[in-house]
Structure 1
Amino acid sequence: MKIHPASLWAVVTLLLFTDTVNAQRRQKGPNSNDTVSSVYQPSDIFSPLFYAERGNEYHSANGAPGSKYWQNRVDYQIKANLDTVKKVIRASETINYTNNSPDQLRFLWIQLDQNTYRADARSNFPTGAAAAQHTNGYEFESVEIIQNGKAEKVPYVLTDTRMQVRLPKSILPNGGKISVLINYHYVIPGAFGGRTDYADTKNGKIYEIAQWFPRMCVYDDTSGWDTLPFLGSGEFYLEYGDIDYQVTVPWDMIVAGSGELLNPQEVLTPKQISRLQAARNSDKTIMIINPDEVAKPTSRPVNRGTLTWHFKMSNTRDVAFGASRAYIWDAARVNLPGGKKSLAMSVYPVESAGNDAWGRATEYLKGSIEYFSAKWFVYPYPVAVNEAGIAGGMEYPGIVFDGITDKGKELFWVTAHEIGHNWFPMIVGSNERRFAWMDEGFNTFIDIGASDVFNKGEYAPKRDSEYAPAGGNPADEIIPIITDPNAPTIMTAADAISEKYRHPIAYFKPAFGLVLLREQILGKERFDYAFRNYIRNWAFKHPTPNDFFRSMDNGAGEDLSWFWKGWYYNNWKLDLAIIHAEYTDINDLKKGIRVTIANKEKMVMPCTVEVKYKDGSKQRMQLPVETWLQNKVTTFTFPSTSEVVCVDIDPDAALPDVNRVNNHWVMK
């Protein structure tokens, strides 16, 4: 609402009273006949003791791991067979578990994600729309343990997507170990698998194999055993360790997997090995398998039977792989800080070939990794794979599944986003199943930067909103969410966020929150330092939301509890308004102008005030967030020096102000 000044103005009077009709607090403006309507209460957003608990020996008050922080470890050895006739994975898995906690563990909990495809799975019920196709999930031949050198069968209980293994003796604390041996198989879901599937192409099926082996639940100092079932939206929370895995496939298939290929001489031709070596030293993409070599017997070291591909990935939460006889394969060197190197690779069918499509996929992958590594934290793995299939955008350590039909900017954007997940949550191991914003929101924030710098901004700007085309103003695009009374808060449990709000709440709002912190609240230098410190402190560990909040508070030197409260724990609106502006001395314009502004909603922000002079020049001043520490309405002197045409709050429209009409004042 645009407010015009009256002819005579009194001295600003701050008179508060209670409106018994609507319970809103109102505050007088400069004119005694004008009352400013506001629901803002300073005591709500600036209340003390935001952190309900003090820091402790495990999670320090400064946001870093405490002196006695502990974390359990899981190493896996897996031998799997891909049966392309029956569409079945058969595997033998050894889980080597180390209990670094201070507690004895009398039982183990293991995640069984494939059970989400069962007809009776809990994941059929949260949305009210059960899946149309199903599998039987995991089917177990045996479950055994080796403890103190002795193997024995153990009782286990299946509960939806979890297995409890009941031990005859507890695993001792502070380094006790146990090995679990599991033999199992499952039917691979078709296209309905979403994240794990198979689909037809011109030269054969593509298999995307993920969440394919039983994985240990996390035991931590927050929840003990974190056993939330896999329902779909809430993704993963996993322990770190080394994963050594072998995949046996028909002789004519290529396997692209997480980690380093340990036996290239057994599964590749000498020409392919030579090309891979050339790619390790090339910034330009090198073809490993050309389009005209796809599905040709000469592209394989043998022409019958099966081949076993052997991979290993160190200090990882998970692994996944793709397999097909239809893959074109290319690769290029990734240049990392400190002279380190990695290898970016893409595999895709001939239908996806061409520089307008997947012919540049490795270039996109390489550029994104180089940017994230230079800006935030060095990519830790020897290989990164971009795989084309129908999963359409899914991330695992060292490998991403992107859309087989993606092209141009869409392919770049999905590549940057999915490989960005290697920072959140593959490196910074947050609990996605509880806090989706700690991976999706953070990753959406960093992938915006990748788009801005790639090939001098070829695909910039990338913005991440449901409400406007890419390149729009995110401060405007967030308005429909913060004005929606039914919108959940960022802190809502991942699986409790409906599909309507999943992207805005898990991706866009937390990402834009980081933009506000960086560009409007802290400044780029202070934000970047604090954010890098958070990543470094929690790399390959398990942070909680409070660890992030405390890290930013301490690293930037600010009490940001007002922001965490208003933006994350609540969905509060912001409405700053100019109530009045007049010359301090109409006879001497060099004495500046007096400006009165109000905060009309529950959220607060620091803001920029700009005046435009008659000669066309402009001048700005900054109001800190403390402006609203005591008041709903504030009057200050702007040090203008000549005739003013107009005054604006937030002239760049950078703040999520729900009513920009009252941000502008024309001087009379």
Structure 2
Amino acid sequence: MNKRILLAIACLWPMITFAQEAYSPYKGRKFEQLGNDLATPNLYRTGSGAPGHQYWQQRADYKIAVHLDDERQRIDAQETITYHNQSPDALQYLWLQLDQNMRNKDSDSFKIAPSEINEKMSSGQINRFMGHDQDLGFHIEEVKNAAGNALPYTINKTMMRIDLPEPLAAGASVTFDVKWWYNIHDRMQLGGRSGYEYFPKDENYLYTICQWFPRMCVYDDVNGWQNKQFLGSGEFALTFGDYEVAITVPEDHIVCATGELQNVEEILNPTQLKRWEKAQTADRPVLIVTKDEAQKAEKKQLKGEKTWVYKAENVRDFAFGSSRKYVWDAMGVQLNNKKVMAMSYYPKEAYELYYKYSTEVVAHTLRTYSKYTIDYPYPVAISVEAANGMEYPMICFNYGRVAEDGTYSERTKYGMISVIIHEVGHNYFPMIINSDERQWTWMDEGLNTFLQFLTEQEWEHDYPSRRGAPSKIVPYMKGNPDNIVPVMTNSEQLKQFGSNAYAKVATALNILRETVMGRELFDYAFKTYAERWAFKHPTPEDFFRTMEDASAVDLDWFWKGWFYSTDHVDISLENVQWYKLNTKNPDVENPIAKAKAEKREKSISKERNKQLTTRVDDERPDLRDFYNSYDPYKTTDEQRKAYKTFITKLSEKDKALLNSDLNFYQLDFKNVGGLVMPIILQFDFEDGSHETAFIPAEIWRKNEEEVSKVFAFEKEVTNIILDPMLETADTDLNNNYFPRQSIPSRFELFERSKAARGASYGSNPMQKAKKAKASK
């Protein structure tokens, strides 16, 4: 069918760009299946992403007695480990993790850490690159079998191999004892999650004790022994088991830990016990230990000792906190037919924030994560304020302290709520859906940050989430490619750790949910993944395959772009051309053709020549002929007859199309950033109305660099916007408009915050209002 161009507008605006050579291993084949890039399905892990019918995993049960010396800041402990070999393999030796050895003064973590001197540096920064001369790390005193005989062992930095007298057969178990001690370090000076914080004003310590005992490495069908050294960034690969831990501390300390307290009636006084019983059914947090009681304990500092006994079933780790500074509140949370005790422990320095929010946020997190994954399976969930941010089964350490007058900034408030959601959320990833953090940080941090975003948005209207929304990841995605690596990079090789493993993955999953798959399909598939791999050891392939298997959406192109490459999203609306159908009606087309010709032949000379008074043919009319009066655009009877004949041969459908007066727009797109994504368009019409069009990413399947698409409308288009809701993380909005629009960038003058982690920081209008009220 013939077409007549009325107007063609080409947007060829010059643009300033920075050369970016992203890592694109799939250039030219982004829509091919991942195929050999994924592990081959087998009896243990299927092609659907589900565990195979012969899936197996190991188990390790622990019975530990630990003594915390508050005078010398030292841990002394001994443990009995029962290791169950549920693999089909006979094991000649066992590998254990000695994570505290990362703190040794000759640790590889210090040796390999790059360092440089800045104009201004804190003592903590200086200490970190100078190292230390403290006696830190594990001192293993003995390793014995169940009969009390010594077992030979070899320590290789953060790993310990125990040699067995005979191979541990498939299906068999072995029990052995380990005795050790180590000095607890000042984590406010040397960093890290485990350690102590000293409060000079009241001369007390707050201990966060984690990575504190020799723990079994994972032995699985993917790696055999996962005994990669602990360097600091790649965290933990751990085995599930049951724990019974007796923790001996000063008698006025409060201990919070993984699991349930077994001797609560021995530990709590009658008043605290009544509060504990009330908290079981309370719908608001109940103080078990009040602020006044904690402050009195700070001053008295009793010298006797108590032993707190905790048990935990089917967990992969155990951590605890201890301090006489703790305020403690709790309440029962009903999740379907199960009650969970949500609890918080915090020093007086965080009281105004934590008493109001912490336990409530714990409860909200449990409800929200349970909705999107599985019901929370454990009996308790604990948030501990420790100027920190780290997760363990049933317990996590967070930050959020107030100013001395009890006020706090908005930034501190939302930072605290977010970190509690994030760390409590880690109960699911990786504590229950137990991925290998030593290898893949994104499998716990990224998935957890995504659910954190959903949980934040369900906490409060317009919650100021730092990560999750596509626009938040744009500065990272369009940054210097030399400082960006694919998400599918080992944890120790990651650059821009938070942006890569946390923010980019959270954004990718949000885009997958909102734009690519839709909420219904995504939520079902994501929940299926959680259900399949709860209390198991999933790999990236298991996640990728399950998301496709449960949704019938081919996502290999998405994993390639967002997880395996450093491409970014930058789709440019290059050209827009406007067309209308040629009706073949001479009474319609001839006047249009004449107007077009006149416009084309218009020139400055022609306009000025109108001033000439006479020409030759004015003086000699006899020189004129047929063509001086001929109008090539005048409709003739012959043309009308030909049109009539043409019309009679058309179907009614074609006649309607010919007379529809539709406006056709050809849009030409260029994939500047390399990451293929859906094309989302908003068309604005001359009557003020709007229409949105969604084009799946598969439009790029035959040409990953340039594509065109034609749209037809009854109304004339005045404006076109690409990605109008900013849902694809497009890094350059200047090429998203027709006609072109220049989007201004804004920059801000600011003073770097000098507040320590955990302290109130940022603008504090609450404090100003309090002072103003006091002055009246």
Shorter chain as normaliser: what TM range? 0.7 to 0.9
The residue number in structure 2 matching 1:620 is: 692
Q: Is the contact between residue 470 and residue 727 of structure 2 (CA under 8 Å) also seen in structure 1?
A: no
The residue number in structure 1 matching 2:478 is: 480
The residue number in structure 1 matching 2:224 is: 224
Aligned counterpart for 2:464 among listed residues 461, 464, 470: 461
Structure 1 unmatched ranges of 5 or more: 1-5, 12-21, 25-38, 466-470
Q: CA–CA distance in 1 between the matches of 2:482 and 2:573?
A: 26
Residue 531 (str. 1) matches residue 603 (str. 2): no
The residue number in structure 1 matching 2:350 is: 352
Q: Is the contact between residue 72 and residue 98 of structure 1 (CA under 8 Å) also seen in structure 2?
A: yes
The residue number in structure 2 matching 1:307 is: 306
Residue 651 (str. 1) matches residue 724 (str. 2): yes
Q: Is the contact between residue 344 and residue 382 of structure 2 (CA under 8 Å) also seen in structure 1?
A: yes
Opposite residue 737 of structure 2, the aligned amino acid is H
Deviations 1:476-500 (A, max 9, x none): 344334x5243111111111124xx
Q: Is the contact between residue 289 and residue 299 of structure 1 (CA under 8 Å) also seen in structure 2?
A: no
Q: CA–CA distance in 2 between the matches of 1:226 and 1:475?
A: 32
The residue number in structure 1 matching 2:66 is: 80
- CA gap of 1:96–1:615, structure 2 versus 1, over 3 A, is same
Opposite residue 666 of structure 1, the aligned amino acid is P
1:122 to partner: Cα distance: 1.4
Residue 239 (str. 1) matches residue 312 (str. 2): no
Q: CA–CA distance in 2 between the matches of 1:644 and 1:70?
A: 61
1:250 to partner: Cα distance: 1.4
1:409 to partner: Cα distance: 1.1
Q: Is the contact between residue 298 and residue 325 of structure 2 (CA under 8 Å) also seen in structure 1?
A: no
Aligned counterpart for 1:362 among listed residues 352, 359, 362: 359
Q: Is the contact between residue 40 and residue 599 of structure 1 (CA under 8 Å) also seen in structure 2?
A: no
Opposite residue 310 of structure 2, the aligned amino acid is F
Opposite residue 236 of structure 2, the aligned amino acid is F
Q: CA–CA distance in 2 between the matches of 1:49 and 1:438?
A: 18
Q: CA–CA distance in 1 between the matches of 2:665 and 2:250?
A: 80
Aligned counterpart for 2:45 among listed residues 59, 62, 76: 59
Aligned counterpart for 1:113 among listed residues 99, 107, 112: 99
The residue number in structure 2 matching 1:46 is: 31
The residue number in structure 1 matching 2:86 is: 100
Opposite residue 695 of structure 2, the aligned amino acid is L
Residue 635 (str. 1) matches residue 708 (str. 2): yes
Q: CA–CA distance in 2 between the matches of 1:347 and 1:478?
A: 36
Q: CA–CA distance in 1 between the matches of 2:136 and 2:692?
A: 65
Residue 279 (str. 1) matches residue 287 (str. 2): no
Q: Is the contact between residue 7 and residue 578 of structure 2 (CA under 8 Å) also seen in structure 1?
A: no
Q: Which structure is larger by alpha-carbon Rg, 1 or 2?
A: 2
Q: CA–CA distance in 2 between the matches of 1:72 and 1:117?
A: 28
* SS of residue matched to 2:63: strand
Residue 571 (str. 1) matches residue 566 (str. 2): yes
Q: Is the contact between residue 330 and residue 359 of structure 2 (CA under 8 Å) also seen in structure 1?
A: yes
Q: CA–CA distance in 2 between the matches of 1:79 and 1:624?
A: 58
Q: How does 1:185-196 map to 2 (within 5 A)?
A: 185-191=181-187, 192-196=190-194
The residue number in structure 2 matching 1:397 is: 393
The residue number in structure 2 matching 1:28 is: none
Opposite residue 332 of structure 1, the aligned amino acid is M
The residue number in structure 2 matching 1:386 is: 383
- CA gap of 1:589–1:393, structure 2 versus 1, over 3 A, is farther
Aligned counterpart for 1:542 among listed residues 537, 546, 552: 537
Q: Is the contact between residue 470 and residue 511 of structure 2 (CA under 8 Å) also seen in structure 1?
A: no
Aligned counterpart for 1:604 among listed residues 658, 672, 676: 676
- CA gap of 1:7–1:123, structure 2 versus 1, over 3 A, is farther
1:418 to partner: Cα distance: 0.8
- CA gap of 1:119–1:652, structure 2 versus 1, over 3 A, is same
Residue 326 (str. 1) matches residue 329 (str. 2): no
Q: Is the contact between residue 110 and residue 164 of structure 1 (CA under 8 Å) also seen in structure 2?
A: yes
* SS of residue matched to 1:79: strand
Structure 2 unmatched ranges of 5 or more: 11-18, 116-128, 403-411, 583-659, 741-776
Deviations 1:79-98 (A, max 9, x none): 11111111111111011100
- CA gap of 1:412–1:560, structure 2 versus 1, over 3 A, is same
Q: Is the contact between residue 475 and residue 731 of structure 2 (CA under 8 Å) also seen in structure 1?
A: no
* SS of residue matched to 1:288: strand
Q: Is the contact between residue 252 and residue 295 of structure 1 (CA under 8 Å) also seen in structure 2?
A: no
- CA gap of 1:271–1:47, structure 2 versus 1, over 3 A, is same
- CA gap of 1:360–1:40, structure 2 versus 1, over 3 A, is closer
Q: CA–CA distance in 1 between the matches of 2:663 and 2:298?
A: 85
* SS of residue matched to 2:580: coil
Q: How does 1:262-277 map to 2 (within 5 A)?
A: 262-277=262-277
Q: CA–CA distance in 2 between the matches of 1:305 and 1:40?
A: 63
1:509 to partner: Cα distance: 0.8
- CA gap of 1:429–1:299, structure 2 versus 1, over 3 A, is farther
* SS of residue matched to 1:473: helix
* SS of residue matched to 1:408: helix
Identity of counterpart residues, as a percentage? 37
Q: CA–CA distance in 2 between the matches of 1:475 and 1:569?
A: 17
Q: Is the contact between residue 331 and residue 345 of structure 1 (CA under 8 Å) also seen in structure 2?
A: yes
1:539 to partner: Cα distance: 0.6
Deviations 1:183-213 (A, max 9, x none): 1111111122521111233552111111111
The residue number in structure 1 matching 2:579 is: 584
The residue number in structure 2 matching 1:152 is: 149
The residue number in structure 1 matching 2:77 is: 91
Aligned counterpart for 1:177 among listed residues 173, 178, 183: 173
Q: CA–CA distance in 2 between the matches of 1:633 and 1:460?
A: 38
Opposite residue 494 of structure 1, the aligned amino acid is S
- CA gap of 1:135–1:334, structure 2 versus 1, over 3 A, is farther
Q: CA–CA distance in 2 between the matches of 1:352 and 1:8?
A: 66
Aligned counterpart for 1:661 among listed residues 711, 734, 739: 734
Q: CA–CA distance in 2 between the matches of 1:179 and 1:404?
A: 42
Q: CA–CA distance in 1 between the matches of 2:25 and 2:214?
A: 51
The residue number in structure 2 matching 1:409 is: 414
1:596 to partner: Cα distance: 2.5
Moved more, 590-599 or 314-323: 590-599
Moved more, 80-89 or 568-577: 568-577
Give 1 or 2: higher helix fraction: 2
Residue 497 (str. 1) matches residue 482 (str. 2): no
1:615 to partner: Cα distance: 1.5
Q: Is the contact between residue 261 and residue 308 of structure 2 (CA under 8 Å) also seen in structure 1?
A: yes
Q: CA–CA distance in 2 between the matches of 1:378 and 1:489?
A: 32
Q: CA–CA distance in 2 between the matches of 1:328 and 1:131?
A: 37
The residue number in structure 2 matching 1:438 is: 443
Give the TM-score taking structure 2 as reference length: 0.76
* SS of residue matched to 1:153: coil
- CA gap of 1:461–1:586, structure 2 versus 1, over 3 A, is farther
Q: CA–CA distance in 2 between the matches of 1:510 and 1:417?
A: 14
* SS of residue matched to 1:273: helix
The residue number in structure 1 matching 2:453 is: 448
Q: CA–CA distance in 2 between the matches of 1:420 and 1:270?
A: 33
1:169 to partner: Cα distance: 0.4
Q: CA–CA distance in 1 between the matches of 2:180 and 2:734?
A: 63
Q: Is the contact between residue 400 and residue 413 of structure 2 (CA under 8 Å) also seen in structure 1?
A: no
Q: CA–CA distance in 1 between the matches of 2:509 and 2:55?
A: 27
Query: Matched residue pairs, number?
Result: 619
Q: CA–CA distance in 2 between the matches of 1:339 and 1:171?
A: 41
1:515 to partner: Cα distance: 1.0
Give 1 or 2: higher strand fraction: 1
Q: Is the contact between residue 40 and residue 601 of structure 1 (CA under 8 Å) also seen in structure 2?
A: no
- CA gap of 1:565–1:98, structure 2 versus 1, over 3 A, is same
The residue number in structure 1 matching 2:508 is: 513
Q: CA–CA distance in 1 between the matches of 2:235 and 2:357?
A: 29
The residue number in structure 1 matching 2:649 is: none
Opposite residue 77 of structure 1, the aligned amino acid is K
Moved more, 195-204 or 537-546: 195-204
Moved more, 113-122 or 624-633: 624-633
Deviations 1:513-543 (A, max 9, x none): 1111111111111111111100110111101
Aligned counterpart for 2:111 among listed residues 125, 128, 133: 125
The residue number in structure 1 matching 2:653 is: none
Opposite residue 455 of structure 2, the aligned amino acid is A
